[in-house]
């Protein structure tokens, strides 16, 4: 068997072939299971392992005990998957087919449901070009009970893998669910396979789309290499005996704001050398690579980073706080107090410079009490223009006005007056601040308050940090998306549309935020 042909990365496969890397039959079965090759080819390879290679016990690891025959387990998987595929393709009353396609980092969903696998696939080909799709997931949904079967296919309709997040498997296939130690993921990602790679620290790599993981082509710089670390490999093989999640390295990436961050890069058997041209903010990866290879100094890297970020800023708003680059207010350079300023604080009842000329200590104490903070921490956003605290005050005024109009016992005249004075100290009124900063309509603010079970005051304080607004609406979108995909009658298109409209409004004042948008379902 040409086991190297089943490794997803051509570069990794070529390296393993060059060093004449070998594996035992069980490990070969895992490599085949991880492959993006069509499932018919994987089944043929597994049958060859059963027929032509010696049997052996399955290794014990963090998920499983050892079983006497890996041939038996492999045969169970083949039989199960073939039964699942036959059931998937068979038209049945009370079932519909839907799909989603990963396209340019975002998911596209079917606008309708279909009564056959073939019709769903035909709609995909009508809606997307071949080079637009990283992977395709088609689901058969059983309407009468909470069950579904999902498969990954390529553009030509070749079935490559089962989806392992389907519901209702126990109801659909109860005999397999009762088998001792049965798990249809066993030869996919539940065991570790020692797959060495040729890459070195500082290499610029990309991750090929990997079926079942939903990844698109990601470019990054490799920061660590574990497959050459014998101590670590020994711990995986002989200690805890790991799984597919151990095929992970650490890399440096560039986010949509041009910021460098470190994160895990999964599935190193899908890594390949990146031969494309780096453009825009991604040119930073070139200099990170040079630095990690000791070809340039740290000051040179930082200088180039500044140059690239400044160039990126010409066309994009650049947030102070972004992914993996959060800096607390009191640690910002502009908030560092000189000895003279510290003396000023002591002489002015704890009021910092640039706050003392606007607010009294009583107003600062009011804000600290309202936010559950202390009088020192609360002054950092006040130094820098007020930030979310002005939204907090606008929300307080809004709520207290509502309480006053409705004769609500919660109305507090002094609280409203204090919030008004603070807002006016920074040159704002409630209505003017909302019009200038909120970017949301009254209806949208009411929607957020109702959904999150917060007061308008709390919602308005969010406006100072758009990540909270976006995060809340993204949660609504995902919830409605799940209801839609499962044909749940609780799905509310108007709720989904409102959440997406708010995220679109947020985008106007927070370019580059992580989006996961799609058109509302009819």
Do 39 and 97 fall within a single domain? no
How many Å apart are CA 43 and CA 221, to the nearest integer? 35
The tens digit of pLDDT for each residue in 339-368 reads 777 787 778 778 887 788 888 888 989 988
How many Å apart are CA 476 and CA 217, to the nearest integer? 28
Residue 41 lies in a domain: yes
The tens digit of pLDDT for each residue in 475-521 reads 788 888 888 888 888 888 888 888 888 777 655 433 333 333 333 33
Residue 192 lies in a domain: no
Do 150 and 231 fall within a single domain? no
Residue with tokens 């395709």: 136
Domain span at residue 13 reads 3-84
Do 274 and 374 fall within a single domain? no
Packing angle of the helix pair 70-89, 39-52 (nearest 10 deg): 150
C-alpha torsion 421→426→427→429, nearest 10: -50
Supply the pTM of this predicted model.
0.57
Mean pLDDT of 420-439: 73
DSSP notation for 70-89:
HHHHHHHHHHHHHHHHHHHH
> Diameter of the chain by CA atoms?
87
How many Å apart are CA 119 and CA 140, to the nearest integer? 12
Do 384 and 271 fall within a single domain? no
Best-predicted range by mean pLDDT (58-72, 80-94, 105-119)? 80-94
Q: Which residues pair with 266 in a beta bridge?
A: 248
Q: Which residues pair with 221 in a beta bridge?
A: 204, 252
Q: Is the pLDDT of residue 15 over 90?
A: yes
The neighbour count for residue 93, using CB atoms within 10 Å, is 7
The tens digit of pLDDT for each residue in 126-177 reads 888 877 776 788 888 888 766 788 888 888 888 888 775 555 666 677 666 5
Residues belonging to the chain: 522
How many Å apart are CA 391 and CA 370, to the nearest integer? 12
Of 177, 194, 225, the residue that ends a domain is 177
Do 68 and 121 fall within a single domain? no
Q: Could you give the C-alpha distances from 217 to 63, 161, 189, in angstroms and in order?
A: 30, 19, 20
Do 418 and 386 fall within a single domain? yes
What's the number of domains the chain is made of? 4
The helix/strand/coil state of 191 is coil
Residue 517 lies in a domain: no
Of 84, 106, 139, the residue that ends a domain is 84
Mean pLDDT of 313-320: 60
How many Å apart are CA 104 and CA 132, to the nearest integer? 7
Residue 219 lies in a domain: yes
Closest to 210 in 3D by CA, of 152, 124, 157, 150: 152
Distance of CA 307 to the CA centre of its chain: 28
Residue 328 lies in a domain: no
Band of the pLDDT at 221, cuts 50, 70, 90? very high
The tens digit of pLDDT for each residue in 445-487 reads 778 777 777 666 666 655 544 555 666 777 788 888 888 888 8
How many Å apart are CA 69 and CA 343, to the nearest integer? 77
Do 460 and 347 fall within a single domain? yes
Do 105 and 171 fall within a single domain? yes
What DSSP designation does 330 have? G
Do 166 and 234 fall within a single domain? no
Band of the pLDDT at 11, cuts 50, 70, 90? very high
Band of the pLDDT at 317, cuts 50, 70, 90? low
Closest to 461 in 3D by CA, of 443, 428, 438: 438
Q: Could you give the C-alpha distances from 320 to 287, 371, 401, in angstroms and in order?
A: 23, 22, 34
The confidence score (pLDDT) of residue 417 equals 92
Residue 442 lies in a domain: yes
Do 220 and 360 fall within a single domain? no
Residue 411 lies in a domain: yes
Spatial strand order in the sheet of 95-103: 106-109, 95-103, 135-142, 147-153, 159-162
Do 386 and 300 fall within a single domain? no
- Element housing 273 (H / E): strand 271-273
Do 296 and 345 fall within a single domain? no
DSSP count for the chain of H helices, then E strands: 20, 10
The neighbour count for residue 147, using CB atoms within 10 Å, is 18
Residue 324 lies in a domain: no
The confidence score (pLDDT) of residue 212 equals 40
Residue with tokens 């990997």: 210
How many Å apart are CA 216 and CA 502, to the nearest integer? 27
């Amino acid at each position: 068997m040409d086991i190297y042909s089943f490794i997803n990365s051509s570069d990794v496969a070529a390296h393993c072939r060059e060093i004449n890397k070998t594996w035992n039959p069980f490990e070969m079965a895992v490599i085949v299971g991880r492959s993006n090759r069509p499932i018919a080819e994987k089944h043929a390879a597994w049958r060859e392992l059963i027929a032509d290679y010696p049997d052996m016990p399955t290794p014990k690891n963090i998920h499983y005990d050892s079983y006497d025959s890996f041939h038996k387990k492999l045969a169970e998987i083949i039989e199960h998957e073939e039964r699942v595929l036959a059931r998937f393709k068979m038209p049945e009353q009370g079932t519909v087919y839907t799909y989603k396609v990963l396209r340019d980092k975002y998911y596209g969903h079917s606008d309708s449901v279909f009564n056959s696998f073939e019709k769903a696939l035909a709609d995909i080909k009508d809606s997307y070009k071949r080079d637009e799709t990283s992977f395709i997931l088609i689901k058969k949904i059983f309407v009468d009970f909470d069950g579904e079967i999902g498969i990954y296919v390529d553009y030509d309709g070749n079935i490559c893998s089962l989806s392992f997040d389907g519901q209702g498997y126990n109801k659909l296939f109860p005999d397999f669910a009762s088998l001792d130690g049965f798990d249809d993921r066993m030869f996919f990602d539940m065991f570790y396979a020692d797959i060495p790679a040729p890459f070195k620290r500082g290499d610029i790599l990309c991750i090929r789309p990997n079926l079942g993981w939903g990844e698109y082509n990601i470019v990054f710089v490799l920061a660590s290499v574990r497959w050459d670390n014998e101590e670590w490999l020994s711990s995986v093989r002989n200690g805890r005996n790991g799984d597919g999640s151990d095929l992970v390295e650490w890399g440096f990436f560039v986010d949509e704001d041009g910021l460098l961050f470190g994160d895990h890069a999964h599935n190193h058997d899908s890594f390949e050398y990146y031969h494309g041209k780096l453009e825009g903010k991604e040119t930073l990866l070139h200099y990170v690579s040079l630095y990690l290879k000791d070809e340039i100094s740290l000051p040179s890297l930082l200088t180039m980073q500044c140059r690239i970020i400044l160039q990126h800023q010409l066309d994009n708003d650049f947030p102070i706080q972004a992914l993996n680059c959060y800096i607390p207010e009191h640690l910002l350079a502009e908030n560092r107090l000189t000895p003279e300023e510290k003396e000023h604080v002591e002489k002015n009842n704890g009021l910092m410079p640039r706050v003392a000329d606007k607010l009294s200590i009583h107003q600062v104490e009011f804000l600290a009490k309202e936010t559950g903070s202390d009088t020192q921490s609360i002054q950092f956003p006040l130094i820098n223009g007020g930030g979310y605290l002005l939204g907090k005050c606008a929300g307080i005024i809004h709520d207290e006005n509502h309480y006053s109009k409705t004769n609500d016992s919660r109305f507090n005249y002094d609280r409203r007056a204090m919030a008004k004075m603070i807002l006016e100290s920074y040159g704002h009124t409630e209505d003017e601040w909302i019009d200038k900063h909120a970017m949301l309509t009254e209806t949208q603010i009411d929607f957020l308050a109702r959904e999150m079970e917060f007061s308008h005051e709390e919602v308005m304080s969010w406006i100072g940090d758009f990540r909270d607004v976006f995060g809340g609406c993204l949660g609504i979108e995902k919830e409605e998306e799940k209801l839609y995909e499962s044909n749940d009658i609780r799905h509310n298109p108007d709720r989904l549309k409102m959440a997406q409209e708010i995220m679109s409004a947020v985008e106007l004042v927070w370019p580059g935020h992580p989006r996961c948008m799609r058109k509302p379902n009819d």
